[in-house]
Chains A and B, each alone.
Chain A
Amino acid sequence: MWNEEYDIVIIGSGFAGLAAALEACKTCSSVVVLDKMRTPGGNSAISGGLVAAAGSPLQEKEGIKDSPALMLEDMLRAGLDFNTPALAKIVAERSTETLLWTIEELGVEYKPNLNHLGGHSVPRTYNTTNTSGSGIIKPMLAKCRDKGIPIRLKMLLQRFIADEKGVIQGVEVRKGYLFPNEASGETWRIRARKAVIVATGGFSQDIKFRLTQNPILTQEIESTNQPGATAEGLVAALKAGATPTQLSLIQLGPWASRDEEGFGVGSMFSMLAGFPYGILIDLKTGRRFVNELSDRKLLVDAMLNTGRESLAIVDSVGVKYASTLNKCLKRGVVKQYEAIDELAHANRIPLAALLETIRTYNENVSKGVDEDFGKPIPDDLFPIENPPYYSIRLISKVHHCMGGIQINSRAQVLNIETHLPIRRFYAAGEITGGIHGASRLGSNAITDCLVFGRIAGRNAAKERTRT
């Protein structure tokens, strides 16, 4: 029946899976992580490495007043109260503790400044020194190696195996799977003496599946995700009796570049500089149309609804926060201009309108109030007036799945019929639903994945070992 067995079997080697593994291995010596891809890390490894934490040391240093309660409030507001408050609360409450865990236990290095991302009331976002989630994933993988936790690649989860009472016993995978060839690999069964943790992430790249949830998201709409961000892990969990929740809540990212594939290097340019320190304008009119620091949903809706082509502009002062600038320029994702008229001409923006837009915006900044769109104006925000100027052409791309399977506060997967936990079955990360509601705030996903990954790992390790 079984080819192999471990105490704890974890599917997915992103933030959630690895956090679970590292936590579980503190009390359990037999842990394995499986992933279908040729490389570990999933979306986590290619993410921007932005991490939200309320009440963090940097906030204290910069004198920013924040609290888990305020973070929760932000989450619920952006999430339009679709969030499961109990779960969202856990993320907010454990955010700083978890951030410190990455620093103290993993040795993750962060930049010395905070970022203010859209939808957050205050700057509360850390960013890894290398502006990438790999700055967290690499130390996590190194730690796994250190602890002797095997990360086994090219293992595609096909189904969860349960006994007659529905208790999860193990998994059936395809060993030697070569993404995306369905026929590759051989059937292999791995038993879990304690529990199975599913952490297979979101399904932004699964065009067929996302179309079942939202008919707008056709294949014409690109995604920021890695190609393996597909739904079969989620579907396997549903077949094992998991409860689906809010699957149609799929987030598009407003900051990605039109001129490169996926998330690329442009997205971080917009997030770190273009939106907070610059303006977002409609190419046709040359006018602003939204608060650049709105949460993603509002931004995307504003960008999509009118079919606008949008451009973000920042000057040489604001651009210093863009740590990916050189790469952006090199790849032609961001263009540099010596004067506004040059920028307007190259992008076919009506010059007079653009100049007027910038003049009004600068006035607002000087006044300290954005009378037009209500963008918060912090002390380090200055008028756009110092050449050279930089611009990035934007397009919305499918980015994050807020929906997924339902878990309780112990990260147990809940059964769709009984609403009780499916025994020996845990989930964490983007595969779960309900935490972020209608719109996930930037930098909250990493916190969520790490918080619930650790909870899942700890509780799975506490399960009685089957003989």
Chain B
Amino acid sequence: MKERFEGKPGQAQSTLFKAWEQKIEQSGSKEIGAAELAAFQAVFTGMIEILHNRAGAGKAESVHQLMEDLSVSALAVDQAAVCRQSGMSLVRFVYLFKAMVNVCEEYIMDHDSSIEEKILYLTALHRVADRLEYAVIEDWHLSDGDRTHDQHGTEKMRSAIFQSVGEGILLVDEDMEVVKANHQASEIYGLSRENLIGADIQSLTDRPGAEKLKAFFNELIEGQRLSAEIAGIYVDGRMFPTRTTVTRIDLDGRRLWTIVVLDTTEEKALENRLRHEKIQTEEMNLTLKNVLKSIESDRRDFEKSISVKIKTSILPGLEKIRRESDAGVRNSYLGLLADQLVALTSGFDAGIDAEMLKLTRTEIEVCRLIQNGLSGKEISEAMNLAFETIQTHRKNIRKKLKLSGKKINLNAYLTNRICEADNKENNA
């Protein structure tokens, strides 16, 4: 029965009802009659639809909300009354009901949503189912009053149901003393029946919880129901969150309150996790946004620096080449320019080369010869210039290369620069 919630609701419903009928059949129980089917369809269709709509929209909304939407008790009671009038026994009704809930459970478990979602739906389902079951059975007994039946059996059944409900149920009297409690209530508070009966209900919650309950006791009129999220206290002192619903009932002139307690620890943990995840996602989004922003600003910075470099070194270099007639010198300029262009995008610091481009043609020539290892005298002879002139050129070169006053040998510096440029090429 692998299904997705997105399927047409009608289709899922018919699958579910079919599974239900099969289940009943396999159990060897009496086949489901048309009237029974109709009654259960009326009760469960709403539930199944809600499961569909919620999950179909892809949002696992809080179970609480889901519950509020499911105020179908009245409908269930009506339908149960129809069943009862057509002669169905309560045992049969409860049996069919449990089977249907079971089918819904399997449906939820089989379907491919996240485990968190599944838990949400299961909790919701159980809440609704318990409530419906309780409502139907209460009503069944009330209307049963005028018929002859096995009082003892009914009492047994009532107590079995009281005990089997998934929520803690406490009956409290005017002294705020617990007079009746089910197993689940025992389990929730860690107190055996003997300890729970006679306990002050205020001892099971904290100060604000007790105030809330007292207020409810005062406010409630008969039959009305109020609920609140209050703290519970386990026998070892641990506090836990509960959803507590209080109803007032008046019996033989006595006022009593039923208190239905659901330990919402798991639910809260789940909610917290979801909330946490949401916060994390939001944080992640923010980070991403910032990263993108900073990338953008980096890009702008980068463009700016390139345009500056083009203006300050590449364009002047080009101008020099344009004006140069000597092929050798032009080649030197071209080489330097090529390095500059590569450096523009490769990210290497092309500072030295940029300085080199500022040199005059004579100075470049001098550099070339220095690089080739010629002495000052040899250069003056090769260039046919006075030795002093060559020395002046050397000084100017040093100045332009920002080497003035530094103990750096020009030959070594220039050779080095060439090596660097070679390396760059090799690496590229």
Closest to B187 in A: A38
Judging by beta carbons under 8 Å apart, are A141 and B235 in contact? yes
The CA of A39 and the CA of B190, in the complex, are separated in Å by: 5
Cβ contacts under 8 Å, B190 to chain A: 39-40, 141
Cβ of B205 within 8 Å of any chain A Cβ, yes or no, is no
Cβ of A142 within 8 Å of any chain B Cβ, yes or no, is yes
Judging by beta carbons under 8 Å apart, are A41 and B235 in contact? yes
Cβ of B153 within 8 Å of any chain A Cβ, yes or no, is no
Main secondary structure of the interface of B (DSSP, over half): loop
Cβ of A37 within 8 Å of any chain B Cβ, yes or no, is yes
Closest to A264 in B: B194
Interface range for A: 20 to 34
Per-position binary interface string of chain A over residues 140-151, scored 1 when its CB falls under 8 Å from any chain B CB and 0 otherwise: 011011000001
Closest to B238 in A: A145
Closest to A133 in B: B195
- The answer to whether A138 and B194 touch (CB under 8 A), given A38-B183, A38-B187, A39-B186, is no
Judging by beta carbons under 8 Å apart, are A144 and B194 in contact? no
Judging by beta carbons under 8 Å apart, are A138 and B237 in contact? yes
Judging by beta carbons under 8 Å apart, are B236 and A45 in contact? no
Judging by beta carbons under 8 Å apart, are A226 and B236 in contact? no
Closest to B203 in A: A130
- The answer to whether A151 and B195 touch (CB under 8 A), given A38-B183, A39-B187, is no
Judging by beta carbons under 8 Å apart, are B236 and A151 in contact? yes
Cβ of B122 within 8 Å of any chain A Cβ, yes or no, is no
Judging by beta carbons under 8 Å apart, are B192 and A46 in contact? yes
Contacts of B162-219 to chain A: CB distance below 8 A: 175, 183, 186-187, 189-192, 194-195, 198
Judging by beta carbons under 8 Å apart, are A134 and B195 in contact? yes
Closest to B192 in A: A39
Contacts of A225-241 to chain B: CB distance below 8 A: 226
Contacts from A to B (Cβ < 8 Å): 37-41, 45-46, 132, 134, 137-138, 141-142, 144-145, 151, 226, 262-263, 265, 327, 330
Cβ contacts under 8 Å, A262 to chain B: 194
The CA of A144 and the CA of B238, in the complex, are separated in Å by: 11
Per-position binary interface string of chain B over residues 230-248, scored 1 when its CB falls under 8 Å from any chain A CB and 0 otherwise: 0000011110000000000
Distance to closest chain B CB from A147 (angstroms): 11
- The answer to whether A226 and B194 touch (CB under 8 A), given A38-B183, A38-B186, A39-B187, is yes
Judging by beta carbons under 8 Å apart, are A37 and B235 in contact? no
Sample 25 A-B pairs with CB under 8 A, ordered by A number: A39-B187, A39-B189, A39-B190, A39-B191, A39-B192, A39-B195, A40-B235, A40-B236, A41-B192, A45-B191, A45-B192, A45-B235, A46-B195, A134-B191, A134-B195, A138-B237, A141-B190, A141-B236, A144-B236, A145-B236, A145-B237, A145-B238, A226-B192, A327-B198, A330-B175
Judging by beta carbons under 8 Å apart, are B237 and A141 in contact? yes
The CA of A265 and the CA of B199, in the complex, are separated in Å by: 12
Judging by beta carbons under 8 Å apart, are A142 and B236 in contact? yes
Cβ contacts under 8 Å, B186 to chain A: 38-39
Cβ contacts under 8 Å, B235 to chain A: 39-41, 45, 134, 137-138, 141
The CA of A46 and the CA of B235, in the complex, are separated in Å by: 13
Extra 16 A-B pairs, beta carbons < 8 Å, given A45-B194, A141-B190? A39-B187, A39-B191, A40-B235, A46-B192, A46-B194, A132-B195, A134-B191, A134-B195, A138-B235, A138-B236, A141-B237, A142-B236, A142-B237, A145-B236, A151-B236, A265-B198
The CA of A38 and the CA of B235, in the complex, are separated in Å by: 12
Closest to A139 in B: B237
Distance to closest chain A CB from B251 (angstroms): 16
The CA of A46 and the CA of B236, in the complex, are separated in Å by: 15
Cβ contacts under 8 Å, B189 to chain A: 39
Closest to B198 in A: A327
Judging by beta carbons under 8 Å apart, are B236 and A37 in contact? no
Cβ contacts under 8 Å, A145 to chain B: 236-238
Cβ contacts under 8 Å, B192 to chain A: 37, 39, 41, 45-46, 226
The CA of A137 and the CA of B236, in the complex, are separated in Å by: 9
Distance to closest chain B CB from A225 (angstroms): 10
The CA of A132 and the CA of B198, in the complex, are separated in Å by: 12
The CA of A141 and the CA of B195, in the complex, are separated in Å by: 15
